[in-house]
Structure 1
Amino acid sequence: MKTEPRAKLWIVIVFLAGLFLVSSFFAGCIALLTATETPSASGNVALIKIHGPIVSGEQSGFFAEDVAASDTIIDLLETAEEDPSIKAIMIEINSPGGSAVASDEIGTAMKALNKPTVSYIREVGASGGYWIASSTDYIFANRMSVTGSIGVIGSYLEFSGLLRDWNITYEQLISGEHKDMGIPFKPLTKEERAILQGELDRIHIFFIEEVARNRNLTKEQVKELATGRIYLGIEAEELGLIDALGGRRDAEEYLRQQLNETITVAELEPPVSFLDFLSSVAEQYSFNMGYGLGESLKTTEQNQLSIRT
């Protein structure tokens, strides 16, 4: 008698699991039929969006829309460059920054383009987001947009005090004096702190030099602004960090004048393959089922030294 409700419960679970798999399969088939091998545009101006933290690598999976991956952005830029129907490229930026390497990669690819580029900053185009914006020919921002933040940060969680309180010992077995520098199980020595600070300062100089070149400013001018503080759009215009206040319509008008023709904007997006879709569905399902656990583990990566703009 007691096993009957349990058997019914298992039947319901199996039915729901089967329904999920079948619906995922058919949705994947639809996605496969509608996906394209390469992104394409149906206008003469390509719109590429850089939203979220800037990271290295490719953009795929359920969390893809939450980050701006350098390889994916560069692929879209190259697609726009190679498409003869595309006359100019418009960049929408809403990013607080992220990886210094990824920001530099995208900025370098931007400057290698042979077509007019314009960017407009929405809520935020700070740090690495501003680095990329400065690589375009012309920058617009809302008067209240957050820009600037020309600086570098390196951080990690350090647990040595907690381990000591719980009588846990970190045994150091390394080959190379500084091999375990920046791990969370021991505090930094003065020498290690000086080494890491030196590397951060060097990246900061790279950042300053790039902005100075991109914005036609002197290194001294940028250095005065490169304290890591943010500037609202209205301040950034006065300081020469952006060209004008405005948004998408202003960016479109700028390109219309540059091209001297009517423009049609088409957004370029990375293609979605069948495998990408299935991976996305699986990730989303797992995320929804284990949201609390996911939140608790989300900062695992922060246990290692992270350098970002």
Structure 2
Amino acid sequence: MGKKEGRSYTWVIVLFVIFLVIAIFFGMTKVFLSLLFNQETLRTGNVAVIPISGPIVTESEESVFAPSGLAVSSRIVDKIKKAEEDAMIRAIIIEINSPGGSPVGSDEIAFAIEESKKPVVALIREMGASGGYWVAAPADVIVAHRNSLVGSIGVIASYVEFPDLLTRFNITYNRLVAGKYKDVGSPLKKMKEDEEALFQSLLDELYEDFISHVAKHRKLEPEQVKELATGWIYTGRKAKELGLVDELGGMEKAEEIIERDLNITVELVEYQTQPSFFEILAGTGQVGAYQIGKGIGESLITRAEQPSTLKVLM
């Protein structure tokens, strides 16, 4: 009798182990497939939360060796579109914590928000500055903490040049170009006054676009925006006084606004997309290895080969 009971317990343990192995296998398979094909795992809810965290860029440079912490515009736009197409989603909260970045990337996200047929609340956490505020402007309502950093309406560009370094080592810079300004911004030559004026005109154009963008979406006069568009940042409290922010508060305030306007009980669902296995692998090869192995000489050569080192940010 004892032996039979022992065998029964053994079979129970064996079956339990088999069941556990199968469960782990299917769980790991699901995770692997999600990673492999860049799928999103979404909880049920009626309000989508889409985070924008870090500098805004148009392309991902994520890898195992060089984690980015970047807000990739194409991924964020894709999330907004998915929320727009999801019949369960009644409203969207754009959770912003960004100092800005690419003018193109910022505008891509802002355009997706502007085109959304669903109510959009922009929630500025620590920072919604420059391109981060460009993104927030088209939202139906902007909420910020009283101590959030908001604004920085302006455009910045920088470039490097080291022609004296070449002279020091008796190196001559020779470059053949077709087009008077083709090599403007090359670090191997000093920038002339007319070339600098060209760059400044480009920045002025983007600056005027920024002012028009804010004036249009915040329903302010362009001259009014221009007065506060010094490139400086404001606290959430001051930003509200200036008309850059509608309400002070955090996520609870954003939920409160949606519940009030739509007469619903908010159930949040965060739209998170992780880079696929192939994206990580590609990033590792293309970015990570380069970051590990590059030296000063290679960096200088790379810059020299580029027509310009100018970087425009907002």
Q: Quote the residue 1:53 is aligned against.
A: 55
Q: Deviations over 1:225-265 (max 9, x none)?
A: 11111111111011001111111111111111121010110
Larger-Rg structure = 2
Deviation at 1:223, TM superposition (A): 0.5
Q: Quote the residue 2:74 is aligned against.
A: 71
Q: Quote the residue 2:135 is aligned against.
A: 132
Task: Note if 1:174 corresponds to 2:171.
Answer: no
CA distance in 1, matches of 2:44, 2:253: 21
Q: Quote the residue 1:186 is aligned against.
A: 189
Residue 45 of structure 1 aligns with an amino acid whose one-letter code is: V
Structure 2: stretches of 5+ with no match in the other structure: 1-26
Is the CA contact 1:44–1:263 (under 8 Å) kept in the aligned structure 2?
A: yes
Q: Quote the residue 2:270 is aligned against.
A: 267
| SS of residue matched to 2:237 | helix
Q: Quote the residue 1:304 is aligned against.
A: 309
Residues 92 and 59 (structure 1 numbering): CA distance in 2 closer, same or farther, change over 3 Å?
A: farther
CA distance in 1, matches of 2:186, 2:294: 26
Out of 120, 123, 147, the residue aligned to residue 120 of structure 1 is 123
TM-score w.r.t. the length of structure 1 is 0.81
Q: Deviations over 1:3-62 (max 9, x none)?
A: xxxxxxxxxxxxxxxxxxxxxxxx996632344764345110000000011111357544
Is the CA contact 1:56–1:99 (under 8 Å) kept in the aligned structure 2?
A: yes
| SS of residue matched to 2:75 | helix
Residues 188 and 144 (structure 1 numbering): CA distance in 2 closer, same or farther, change over 3 Å?
A: same
| SS of residue matched to 2:273 | coil
| SS of residue matched to 2:50 | strand
| SS of residue matched to 1:89 | strand
Deviation at 1:168, TM superposition (A): 1.9
Residues 135 and 61 (structure 1 numbering): CA distance in 2 closer, same or farther, change over 3 Å?
A: farther
Is the CA contact 1:58–1:72 (under 8 Å) kept in the aligned structure 2?
A: no
Structure 1: stretches of 5+ with no match in the other structure: 1-26
Deviation at 1:144, TM superposition (A): 1.3
Is the CA contact 1:59–1:69 (under 8 Å) kept in the aligned structure 2?
A: no
CA distance in 1, matches of 2:106, 2:271: 19
CA distance in 2, matches of 1:126, 1:245: 16
Residue 92 of structure 1 aligns with an amino acid whose one-letter code is: E
Tell which deviates more after alignment, 269-278 or 123-132: 269-278
CA distance in 2, matches of 1:145, 1:291: 39
1:1-309 to 2 correspondences below 5 Å: 31-35=31-35, 38-39=39-40, 40-58=42-60, 61-62=63-64, 66-279=69-282, 290=292, 304-309=309-314
TM-score w.r.t. the length of structure 2 is 0.80
Aligned length in residues? 279
Deviation at 1:278, TM superposition (A): 4.3
Residues 31 and 168 (structure 1 numbering): CA distance in 2 closer, same or farther, change over 3 Å?
A: farther
| SS of residue matched to 2:182 | coil
Tell which deviates more after alignment, 169-178 or 32-41: 32-41
Percent of aligned pairs sharing the same letter: 44
CA distance in 1, matches of 2:135, 2:106: 6
| SS of residue matched to 2:264 | coil
Residues 65 and 256 (structure 1 numbering): CA distance in 2 closer, same or farther, change over 3 Å?
A: farther
Deviation at 1:140, TM superposition (A): 1.0
Tell which deviates more after alignment, 126-135 or 153-162: 153-162
| SS of residue matched to 1:242 | coil
Tell which deviates more after alignment, 65-74 or 198-207: 65-74
CA distance in 1, matches of 2:60, 2:294: 26
Is the CA contact 2:61–2:287 (under 8 Å) kept in the aligned structure 1?
A: no
CA distance in 2, matches of 1:58, 1:76: 15
